[in-house]
């Protein structure tokens, strides 16, 4: 901690102890017409990565887990992984086996399927959906809603009978009208719709009426009203999409994170071409966070989501390096291989923006979106550093710029806030790529954020920063999690006042990670939590939403006269609104006079987040920390407000 900060804190603490609260009145002064920097219009956005089951088991509306029997742990291969999420031979008295097979698969990208050999009885097997430490499993269905299911089946040669698809309880009791199919000896898709008569944690059951062998692959169950259910391959979980809509994001970064780079082996590079086209032909891959990625939420769905959110798409492509932070088991792409790989990136841009007469533009049109997605940003690399990165960055950067000079390229500053890695990255950028936007990532203590609100004040005003990943990390609790509590959210809010003040330099910022499925998380804290049925917003989410709803066009010069060194502020404006953001991270309430020139008399509204320092939300107390709103009056340019201890408040004044 800097010595001056310590001294200032001690002085503030002493004063707080000595003076009564009434003597602590302070002033925040600003003239609405005295503007300083022009603010970025892409300041607050989102970073979506399939971590914590954020895509599969989360935002992607598929209710089945391991729907295509491709589950495999690349680092620790066990054949049983292919059985994950399924239960076999569930009928008393039936005799049969379930075997993983690879001969004559559905297609070469979907190599594994299950063969069921039935000797006797009505053999039933079922997909149980996602299970976790906090959820016994099952596919959550609601009474009266419609669900669409399908499965690919083949008569393995000697099967006589029919296959029934049924939505049931785990016991086998039917919840909706089932359907039976006579199957052929070619792979074929069989579809059915269910309207359950009860709200249940159900299972998708397959009952084999007959004997012989049946091949099974690629099953699916989705709510018919999923967001984007008219997309060719299903859609997204509507309640989670709504939480993203409510953040009003200006960009959407995807698919990682480490996921974009891949880990350990080259086959784990995120290959965007595996994630488009019909879902049964998307090559699944292991997820660096410990589960499989179905890629059902692939690049097409990503671009569609960005468009629906009104957010600029911002894909991150790997730079030819596997995640440098992990124990890499294969060499990076050679220089020659990197040159060849550049074509994949160009193809991605063509998929996004190309005319429908181009190869990849035609695929986009086939998938239902002939209009271009208007891609403007592209990040090359995630958390990369050193010359091993920059030699590859140079090749990819030049290849992209040669064909698409108008694309804004984002380069990596590595995985840490300070030290030689970002210093080297910045020296390379300043000398060779001054026009790139630099992606900084840091996960630091709350105190670090409070002490570094001056970080960007000294950055040259010609540089542009994308704060692509950040969050305040509190100490890990006995439950093994770093908390999403009010204090961490306020430290982020304090830092965001500095981001806004410097939004000529910090042109984009996104909290990370975005989502986590309760009981299945690999990383904490996370902005949005969910379980099979519900969503739980964190104080950190509320801060992001409050700030994103009140971004100005320009920063307004302001002065805050207070003894409390833990009060942070920024004033911004649009054509007709003035936003005053004040964050009090101290344990003391503070009366403050807002002295605002060129603001007409009237009523201002405010939104406030406050509570106990360690207060957090949970699935049983979702609104324990939630924003409240209120009004205050401004007369003659003056408005007296009370800032509670541990609070963030945003005042909105009408300028017209
Ligand atoms: O946000 C979680 C991870 O943190 C990201 O995948 C990675 O970029 C960073 O290390």
Of 68-77, 216-225, 470-479, 564-573, minimum mean pLDDT range: 68-77
pLDDT of residue 553: 98
Q: Which of 261, 382, 413, 521 has most ligand 1 atoms within 8 Å of its beta carbon, as the pocket-test mutant?
A: 382
pLDDT, tens digit (0-9, with 9 covering 90-100), for 28-58 = 999 999 999 999 999 999 999 999 999 999 9
Q: Is residue 28 in a domain? A: no
Query: Do 160 and 98 belong to one domain?
Result: yes
Res 135: pLDDT: 83
Confidence of residue 16 (pLDDT cuts 50, 70, 90): very low
- Residue among 255, 256, 259, 289 whose CB has most ligand 1 atoms within 8 A, to mutate: 256
- Percentages helix, strand, coil for the chain (3-state, rounded to 5) are 25, 35, 45
- Tell me which of 258, 259, 381 to substitute to probe ligand 1's pocket, judged by most ligand atoms within 8 Å of the beta carbon: 258
Task: Please say if 383 is a catalytic residue.
Answer: yes
CATH number, domain at 388? 3.20.20.80
Q: Give yes or no: residues 138 and 163 share one domain.
A: yes
Among candidate residues 440, 472, 502, the one where a domain is terminated:
440
The answer to whether residue 557 is domain-embedded is no
In total, how many domains does the chain have?
2
Question: How large is the average pLDDT for residues 595-604?
Answer: 98
Of the residues 390, 407, 440, the one at which a domain ends: 440
Q: Specify if 474 maps to a domain.
A: no
pTM (predicted TM-score): 0.95
> Each residue of 97-128: pLDDT tens digit?
999 999 999 999 999 999 999 999 999 999 99
Position 182 in a domain: yes
Asked whether residue 649 is assigned to any structural domain, the reply reads no
Whole-number Å distance between alpha carbons of 520 and 129: 13
Residue 363: phi, psi to the nearest 5?
A: -65, -45
**How far apart, in whole angstroms, are the C-alpha atoms of residue 545 and residue 455?**
23
Q: What CATH code is carried by the domain that includes residue 102?
A: 2.60.120.260
177 shares a domain with 282: no
Q: Beta strands of 277-390 (E only): which ranges?
A: 285-286, 292-293, 312-317, 377-380
Residue 322 sits in the same domain as residue 432? yes
pLDDT tens per residue across span 511-529: 999 999 999 999 999 999 9
The band of 80, judged by pLDDT with boundaries at 50, 70 and 90, is: confident
Determine the pLDDT at residue 24: 53
Q: How confident is the model over 595-619, as a mean pLDDT?
A: 98
Has residue 109 been placed in a domain? yes
Q: Both 175 and 231 in a single domain? A: no
Cα-based torsion angle of the residue sequence 157, 159, 162, 168 in order, rounded to the nearest 10 degrees: -100
What per-residue confidence (pLDDT) applies to 73? 81
- When pLDDT is cut at 50, 70 and 90, the band that residue 19 belongs to is very low
What's the mean per-residue pLDDT of the chain? 95
Q: Residue 86, SS3?
A: strand
Kindly state whether residues 428 and 312 are assigned to the same domain: yes
pLDDT value at residue 76? 77
Tens-digit pLDDT profile for residues 532-562: 999 999 999 999 999 999 999 999 999 999 9
Does residue 318 carry a pLDDT above 90?
Answer: yes
Q: Do residues 528 and 240 make contact, with C-beta atoms less than 8 angstroms apart? A: yes
Q: What is the per-residue pLDDT for 77?
A: 76
How far does the centroid of ligand 1 lie from the alpha carbon of residue 325, in Å? 10
For ligand 1, atom 3, the nearest C-alpha belongs to: 257
- The answer to whether residue 350 scores a pLDDT higher than 80 is yes
**Which tokens sit at 156?**
């393995």
- Whole-number Å distance, alpha carbon 414 to ligand 1 midpoint, is 11
How many CB atoms neighbour CB 621 within 10 A? 11
HSE-CB at 353 with a 13 A cutoff on CA atoms is 15
Which residues on neighbouring strands pair with residue 56, listed in sequence order? none
Q: Which domain covers residue 327, as residue numbers?
A: 226-270+277-286+308-354+366-440
For residue 530, what are its two tokens? 């969910």
Helical spans, DSSP H, in 502-594: 539-548
Instruction: Please tell me the predicted confidence (pLDDT) of residue 5.
Output: 46
> Do 323 and 428 have their domain in common?
yes
Render pLDDT for 285-301 as a digit per residue (tens, 0 to 9).
999 999 999 999 999 99
Helix axes 420-432, 386-403, angle to 10 degrees: 30
Residue 568, both tokens:
């942070």
Asked whether residue 167 carries a pLDDT value surpassing 60, the answer given is yes
In this structure, the answer to whether residues 159 and 246 fall within a common structural domain is no
Task: Give the pLDDT of residue 521.
Answer: 96
pLDDT the model gives residue 7 = 46
Q: Are residues 181 and 317 in the same domain?
A: no
Query: Which residue in 56, 70, 62, 57 sits closest to 216, CA to CA?
Result: 70
457 inside domain = no
Q: What is the pLDDT of residue 133?
A: 81
Mean pLDDT, rounded, for 192-214: 98
Task: Report if residue 61 sits inside a domain.
Answer: no
Categorize the per-residue pLDDT at 75 as very low, low, confident or very high, splitting at 50, 70 and 90: confident
**Average pLDDT of span 442-450:** 98
The answer to whether residues 257 and 387 belong to one domain is: yes
Q: Which residue's CA lies nearest to atom 8 of ligand 1?
A: 257
Residues 422, 409 within the same domain = yes
Instruction: Say what the pLDDT of residue 467 is.
Output: 98
Tell me the chain's radius of gyration from C-alpha atoms. 27
Residue nearest to atom 6 of ligand 1 (CA): 257
Residues having CB closer than 6 A to ligand 1 are 49, 51, 256-258, 382-383, 415, 441, 469, 512-513, 523
158 and 88 in one domain? yes
Distances (CA, A) of 299 to 235, 236, 548: 13, 13, 25
pLDDT reading at 200 higher than 80: yes
User: By the 8 A CB rule, do 104 and 207 touch?
Assistant: no
d(CA 383, ligand 1 centre) in Å: 8
Q: Cα–Cα distance between 237 and 243 in angstroms, integer? A: 10
């Amino acid at each position: 901690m800097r010595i001056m900060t310590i001294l200032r804190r001690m002085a503030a603490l002493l004063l707080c102890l000595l003076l009564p609260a009434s003597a602590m009145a302070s002033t925040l002064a600003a003239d609405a017409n005295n503007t300083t920097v022009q603010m970025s219009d892409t300041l607050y956005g989102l970073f979506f990565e399939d971590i914590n089951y954020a895509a599969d088991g989360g935002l992607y509306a598929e209710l089945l887990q391991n729907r295509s029997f491709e589950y495999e742990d690349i680092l620790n291969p066990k054949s049983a992984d292919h059985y994950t999420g399924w239960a076999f031979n569930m009928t008393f008295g039936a005799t049969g086996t379930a075997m993983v097979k690879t001969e004559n698969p559905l297609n070469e990208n979907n190599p594994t399927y299950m063969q069921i050999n039935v000797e006797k009885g009505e053999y039933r097997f079922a997909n149980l959906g996602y299970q976790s430490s906090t959820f016994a499993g099952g596919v959550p269905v609601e009474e009266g809603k419609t669900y669409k299911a399908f499965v690919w089946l083949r008569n393995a040669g000697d099967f006589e009978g029919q296959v029934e698809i049924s939505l049931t309880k785990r016991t086998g009791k039917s919840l909706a009208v089932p359907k039976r199919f006579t199957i052929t000896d070619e792979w074929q898709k069989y579809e059915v719709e269910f309207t359950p008569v009860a709200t249940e944690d159900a299972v998708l059951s397959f009952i084999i009426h007959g004997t012989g062998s049946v091949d099974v692959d690629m099953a699916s169950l989705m709510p018919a009203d999923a967001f984007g259910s008219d997309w060719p391959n299903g859609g997204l979980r509507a309640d989670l999409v709504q939480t993203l809509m409510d953040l009003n994001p200006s960009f959407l970064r995807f698919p990682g994170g480490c996921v974009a780079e891949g880990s350990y082996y080259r086959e784990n590079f995120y290959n965007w071409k595996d994630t488009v086209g019909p879902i049964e032909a998307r090559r699944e891959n292991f997820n660096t966070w410990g589960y499989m990625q179905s890629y059902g939420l692939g690049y097409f769905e990503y671009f569609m989501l960005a468009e629906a959110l009104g957010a600029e798409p911002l894909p991150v492509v790997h730079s030819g390096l596997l995640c440098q932070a992990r124990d890499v088991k294969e060499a990076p792409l050679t220089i020659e291989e990197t040159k060849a790989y550049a074509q994949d990136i160009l193809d991605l841009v063509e998929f996004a923006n190309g005319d429908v007469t181009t190869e990849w533009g035609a695929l986009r049109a086939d998938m239902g979106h002939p209009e271009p997605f208007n891609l403007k940003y592209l990040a090359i690399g995630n958390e990369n550093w050193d010359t091993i990165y920059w030699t590859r960055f140079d090749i990819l950067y030049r290849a992209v710029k040669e064909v698409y000079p108008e694309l804004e390229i984002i380069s990596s500053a590595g995985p840490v806030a300070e030290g030689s890695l970002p210093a080297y990255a910045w020296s390379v950028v300043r000398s060779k790529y001054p026009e790139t936007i630099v992606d900084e990532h840091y996960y630091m203590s709350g105190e670090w954020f409070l002490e570094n609100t001056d970080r960007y004040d000294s950055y040259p005003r010609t540089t542009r920063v994308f704060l692509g990943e950040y969050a305040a990390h509190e100490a890990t609790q006995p439950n093994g999690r770093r908390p999403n509590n009010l204090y961490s959210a306020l430290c982020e809010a304090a830092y965001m006042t500095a981001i806004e003040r410097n939004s000529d330099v910090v042109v984009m910022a996104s909290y990370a990670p975005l989502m986590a499925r309760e009981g299945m998380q690999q990383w904490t804290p996370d902005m949005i939590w969910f379980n099979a049925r519900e969503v739980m917003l964190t104080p950190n989410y509320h801060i992001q939403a409050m700030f994103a709803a009140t971004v100005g066009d320009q920063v307004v010069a302001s002065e805050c006269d207070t003894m409390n060194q833990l009060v942070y502020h920024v004033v911004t404006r649009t054509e007709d609104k003035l936003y005053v953001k004040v964050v009090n991270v101290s344990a003391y309430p503070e009366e403050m006079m807002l002295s605002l020139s060129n603001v007409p008399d009237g009523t201002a509204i405010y939104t406030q987040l406050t509570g106990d320092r360690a207060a957090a939300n949970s699935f049983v107390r979702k609104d324990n920390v939630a924003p409240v709103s209120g009004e205050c009056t401004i007369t003659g340019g003056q408005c007296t407000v009370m800032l509670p201890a541990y609070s963030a408040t945003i005042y909105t004044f009408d300028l017209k």
